[in-house]
Structure 1
Amino acid sequence: MIPLRCCGLLLATLAATFPAPAKAAERPNVIVIMSDDQGAADAGCYGATDVQTPALDALAGRGVRFTQFYSAAPVCSPSRAALLTGRYPWQVGMAGNGSPPPSEEHDNSDAFGGRGLPVDGFTMARMFQQAGYATAHIGKWHLGIGVGTQPLQQGFDYSFGFLGGCIDNYSHFDYWGGPNRHDLWENGRRVRLPGKYFPDLLVDHAAEFIDDHGDRPFFMYFAINVPHYPYQGEPKWVDYYQQQGTPYPRNLYAAWLSTLDDRLAALMKHLDDRGLRENTVVVYQADNGYSTEQRAHNGGGSSGRYRGAKFSLFEGGTRLPAVLSWPGHLPEGEVRDQLTHGCDWLPTLAELCGVEVDASLPLDGESLVDVVRSADAPTPHDAVCWRFQDQWAVRQGRWKLMHQPRGYDKSPQPELVDGKWFLADIDADPSEATNLAADHPEVVEQLRRLYESRYATNRGD
């Protein structure tokens, strides 16, 4: 249990009376951190006892930790698209993963098209840019490589990282489509830094951007590519987990996750050293559950008590670590159990920063400010939905209906009613151990109708 730093009632009162800044120069900075393929239970503050994550635990100690936070998808690109747009991913053409990076014969990624965010679409970065913020993308993109879909064309003033889904962290070549797909870019141009450890490059470029923009507020999307495969943890952490006797492949995954945590610590220290921590809102979210792919040594992560992993619409694929921290302005060391969602960050940050959002925008997210300020506030969601390939799910209150779900973990494939339906009572059975579809056909029908009437249009597949 993380101790409260001060009285929750006092903090809630301060938060409720804190005025929205009128001028851009007075607005807080914002850093949105997205980890990659992190298991639902893989942090000390989420119950893990065999991995070291002191920086993430400290961030939760200085903020609000969510226990029913859901990403918008069980894979990388759709989850990221939802975070940046505030919309369900299929509504912005990102129902699946983005295009692979350009090959070596193309030095300019403008030469490529493929799947990506809508050209001239609305993103969190553009929202902050229009409000006078300096904006930066640092890390993984995976949201398009063609004209109009790259970071600088989606509201970012600066971009450093890779465009595809995963890279080798020393050579910076794509880990899927090699051997001729070098994938490291700065402001849309290929850069070559062979041998430089990518997690360190991310912190260095993030710190430089922070230092270069002290004259106005900044927004940074820090999309670190850890603990996504390849597992290339720092030697000190590889040695540590070997000495602890951590079994394979958990030892490799844990070393990689602790490597992430060290970079989070370095980023937070840089804010502290510059006197910016109490003027910076920090969001932390995992994009989807841990991977059981062959390139991930068939596992290593943990969903804890939840069924499912990456690619799955069971809880382990989408119910993930998430923290919101703004010391001195929002509660600290507190937990929120309300249902919250990856689309919610855009309207939440807009409200906290006093940034306007066009009321005509069809956002699927809702502001979480009331939830953050009070444990008694209701969830802003009547229902939420997920869709990936032939799986879909809808949750309303205690009930969650899934169509053709698969676990992608080591648990047995569950029996489905009529070969396609799984109904869970999440309040009573968060592990989704029991299929109640046969016992409650009226609930199945109600949620099926809800899905078809509210979510089944504009597929964007």
Structure 2
Amino acid sequence: MLADSRVRGAVGRLPEPGGWLVHSGRSASVHPATDGRRCPHPRPLGAGAEGIGVRRGASGERRERPGPSGVGSSCPVPQAGWQCHLLWSPQGGRRRVNRRALLRDTSILGSAALLPGAGLGCAREPKNRRLNVILIFTDDQGSVDVNCYGAKDLYTPNLDALAARGTRFMQFYVASPICSASRAALLTGRYPQRAGVVSVASGNHGLSPMQLALAKLLRGAGYRTAVFGKWHLGDRPELSPTVQGFGEFFGFRGGCIDNYSHFSHWSDPNRHDLWRGGTEVWEDGKFFPDLVVREAIRFVEENRERPFFLYLPFNAPHYPYQGEEAYRARYASLTQPRRNYAESVSTVDADIGRVLAKVDQLGLRENTLVIFASDNGHSAEMPASWGGGSAGPYRGGKFTLWEGGIRVPCIASLPGVIPSGEVRYQFAVSVDWFPTIAQLCGVDLPDRLLDGRSLVPVLMSPSAPPSHQVFHWQAAPQWAVREGDWKLVVNGLPCGRRDRVLPRDRVFLSNLAEDVTERTNLAPQRWRKVSHLMGLHRAWQNEPWKFGEAQWKGG
């Protein structure tokens, strides 16, 4: 019989009927027994399977009942009131993590092992296959611009379906309101200042090859890696995605292209910007989002038998607003620029749906972690017709450190592991996905300082503490710091015409639990809190390791 000491230490207390457990090392599943029947495991256990029956005694003490082991073993629980606790050793090779041993770090289990309603289900025989990962990053999508986030004028059935099959974050933030800096933070798990990209990347300014991007980490663990879409982390060959660990790249290097000609009209001179790896390619007249979907589907099909990491940074709903014709009639009643923006949102929603439909068709969905987020808030720039997106109740948008610039929609889905149809209200940041993905994929973190913290506890429990108690933003000349519900913004910028009528106080303090709109400045009344938050940010700025890596300038 397997020693149960590890289980005792991990569980801490017995689950109630209906509770579920996953623990590290050897896999376990706990579920209610049925009256006089064996547990309906979906398939016989493999060789070496062992189990125990567990129940509470009248005074709450733990009681155990050994069960059979070996091929074909079933639940060792013949009576009602007991719970099945099946254990087994990995069946050789690398075991799949998401159902059998979700958590490699038992420290998490001390507070998150009891997961009622998490949908983990009965344990199944492990496969010699790691999780696939699809990371979707849309461009300039507003804080509330998904139907399930409150945008009832938008049609986003695929993102809504993803939320129904996953968990939706209500206080999710990006590390910067600026496109390139936000992407660098996402891919490195670091503050933009530590990642070395604090502003818009262009030419020979971008993500240093000295940085360790998520693709490098996963590729080193045997993953096939690809990025299709918008890179915007440097134009030079030494700053290309393939240098950052992506085995394949198809898309554009800059910040914006026309979706049909694939020319960049962002700055003079106009230039063609469509690449496969390091080779310029021409697909005149073809709708760029369709090309991204084409490449994504091909990549998934080709790698169905091996673990893959697919990064899809779509270029919508960033301007130019070029949605598909199918949505023009649907949004005919909306006024401009919301109408064109809505067409673009629904177009990218449909594109996401096409990729995920292929994953479903290939039977890969239950072994694929899907993460969706926007890179920053909506744009109120002139090319965006001064703003078709919405921050809902939040102040600000792209380029600002108000909530509307950095608070974005985010959904994570992994059927059978991440709870379905649930919402999380804990504070979380885009840098957290790096260690979260590594943990779920069973890949050791690199020996370097990361600012992100795993979101596994938060994903598993609505009562888990947030990933950060304090977080900082800096996008010159503005900066912000949040501690708990308190947020301080200094030199905050306006966003769009609506925001220009709001107070332009240089130092703005708000309590987000009481005023998420950031309309009432509490700084004059709470000057001690202001001083405290300023001290936190000053200490953060003065830490040399935080700003020790300058923005890469190739040469």
Q: What TM-score do you get using the length of structure 2 for normalisation?
A: 0.76
Q: State the Cα distance separating 1:25 from its structure 2 match.
A: 4.8
Amino acid in the other structure paired with 1:379:
P
Amino acid in the other structure paired with 1:230:
P
1:73-88 matched pairs, under 5 angstroms:
73-88=176-191
Secondary structure, aligned partner of 1:202: helix
| 1:69 maps to which of 172, 182, 185 | 172
Q: Structure 2 CA distance, aligned partners of 1:215 and 1:389?
A: 46
Amino acid in the other structure paired with 1:387:
Q
| 2:287 maps to which of 189, 193, 197 | 197
| 2:391 maps to which of 303, 313, 320 | 303
Q: Deviations over 1:268-326 (max 9, x none)?
A: 10101111111100000100000011100111100000000111100000111001100
Q: State the Cα distance separating 1:411 from its structure 2 match.
A: 2.1
Is 2:524 the partner of 1:438?
A: yes
Contact (CA 8 Å) 2:237, 2:278: kept in 1 or not? no
1:111 equivalent in structure 2? none
Secondary structure, aligned partner of 2:404: helix
2:366 equivalent in structure 1? 278
1:208-247 matched pairs, under 5 angstroms:
208-242=298-332, 245-247=333-335
1:385-424 matched pairs, under 5 angstroms:
385-409=472-496, 410-417=498-505, 420-424=506-510
1:376 equivalent in structure 2? 463
Amino acid in the other structure paired with 1:176:
W
Q: Structure 2 CA distance, aligned partners of 1:82 and 1:261?
A: 24
Contact (CA 8 Å) 2:23, 2:101: kept in 1 or not? no
Q: State the Cα distance separating 1:10 from its structure 2 match.
A: 6.0
Q: State the Cα distance separating 1:266 from its structure 2 match.
A: 0.4
Contact (CA 8 Å) 1:24, 1:217: kept in 2 or not? no
Is 2:202 the partner of 1:99?
A: yes
Amino acid in the other structure paired with 1:428:
E
Secondary structure, aligned partner of 1:176: coil
Q: Structure 2 CA distance, aligned partners of 1:218 and 1:11?
A: 32
Q: Structure 2 CA distance, aligned partners of 1:70 and 1:11?
A: 31
After TM superposition, the structure 1 stretch with the greater mean CA deviation from structure 2, 233-242 or 75-84, is 233-242
Amino acid in the other structure paired with 2:247:
D
Contact (CA 8 Å) 1:24, 1:131: kept in 2 or not? no
CA RMSD of aligned residues (A): 1.9
Contact (CA 8 Å) 1:11, 1:330: kept in 2 or not? no
Q: State the Cα distance separating 1:329 from its structure 2 match.
A: 1.7
Q: State the Cα distance separating 1:179 from its structure 2 match.
A: 4.7
| 1:151 maps to which of 241, 252, 255 | 241
Is 2:454 the partner of 1:454?
A: no
Secondary structure, aligned partner of 2:160: helix
Which blocks of at least 5 consecutive residues in structure 1 are unaligned?
1-8, 101-113
Is 2:257 the partner of 1:167?
A: yes
Is 2:105 the partner of 1:19?
A: no
Contact (CA 8 Å) 1:35, 1:226: kept in 2 or not? yes
> CA 1:253–1:416 in 2, change beyond 3 Å: closer, same or farther?
closer
2:122 equivalent in structure 1? none
1:114-133 matched pairs, under 5 angstroms:
114-133=204-223
1:106 equivalent in structure 2? none
Q: State the Cα distance separating 1:456 from its structure 2 match.
A: 4.8
Amino acid in the other structure paired with 2:450:
L
Contact (CA 8 Å) 1:15, 1:373: kept in 2 or not? no
After TM superposition, the structure 1 stretch with the greater mean CA deviation from structure 2, 188-197 or 407-416, is 407-416
Q: Structure 2 CA distance, aligned partners of 1:344 and 1:422?
A: 27
Contact (CA 8 Å) 1:292, 1:309: kept in 2 or not? yes
| 1:334 maps to which of 419, 422, 439 | 422
Amino acid in the other structure paired with 1:325:
S
Q: Structure 2 CA distance, aligned partners of 1:455 and 1:362?
A: 16
Q: Structure 1 CA distance, aligned partners of 2:501 and 2:538?
A: 25
Amino acid in the other structure paired with 1:440:
R
Secondary structure, aligned partner of 1:240: coil
Which has the bigger relative contact order, CA under 8 A and spacing at least 6? 1
2:113 equivalent in structure 1? none
Is 2:451 the partner of 1:364?
A: yes
Contact (CA 8 Å) 2:22, 2:101: kept in 1 or not? no
Aligned-residue identity in percent: 46
Secondary structure, aligned partner of 2:531: helix
1:90 equivalent in structure 2? 193
1:105 equivalent in structure 2? none
Amino acid in the other structure paired with 2:517:
S
Q: Deviations over 1:106-149 (max 9, x none)?
A: xxxxxxxx211112320100010011000001100000122432
Amino acid in the other structure paired with 2:445:
V
1:176 equivalent in structure 2? 266
2:159 equivalent in structure 1? 56
Contact (CA 8 Å) 1:20, 1:353: kept in 2 or not? no
Q: Structure 2 CA distance, aligned partners of 1:222 and 1:171?
A: 20
Secondary structure, aligned partner of 1:153: helix
Q: State the Cα distance separating 1:403 from its structure 2 match.
A: 0.8
Q: Structure 1 CA distance, aligned partners of 2:174 and 2:488?
A: 17
| 1:425 maps to which of 511, 530, 547 | 511
Contact (CA 8 Å) 1:293, 1:299: kept in 2 or not? yes
Q: State the Cα distance separating 1:214 from its structure 2 match.
A: 2.3
> CA 1:252–1:221 in 2, change beyond 3 Å: closer, same or farther?
same
Amino acid in the other structure paired with 1:123:
A
Amino acid in the other structure paired with 1:395:
R
1:316 equivalent in structure 2? 404
Q: State the Cα distance separating 1:89 from its structure 2 match.
A: 0.7
1:254 equivalent in structure 2? 342
Q: Structure 2 CA distance, aligned partners of 1:283 and 1:294?
A: 30
Which blocks of at least 5 consecutive residues in structure 2 are unaligned?
1-16, 29-98, 105-125
Q: Structure 2 CA distance, aligned partners of 1:11 and 1:279?
A: 23
Q: Structure 1 CA distance, aligned partners of 2:20 and 2:493?
A: 41
Q: Structure 1 CA distance, aligned partners of 2:530 and 2:537?
A: 11
Contact (CA 8 Å) 2:143, 2:390: kept in 1 or not? yes
After TM superposition, the structure 1 stretch with the greater mean CA deviation from structure 2, 425-434 or 14-23, is 14-23
Q: State the Cα distance separating 1:387 from its structure 2 match.
A: 0.9
Amino acid in the other structure paired with 1:170:
Y
Secondary structure, aligned partner of 2:186: helix
Contact (CA 8 Å) 2:379, 2:398: kept in 1 or not? yes
Amino acid in the other structure paired with 1:33:
I
Amino acid in the other structure paired with 1:57:
D
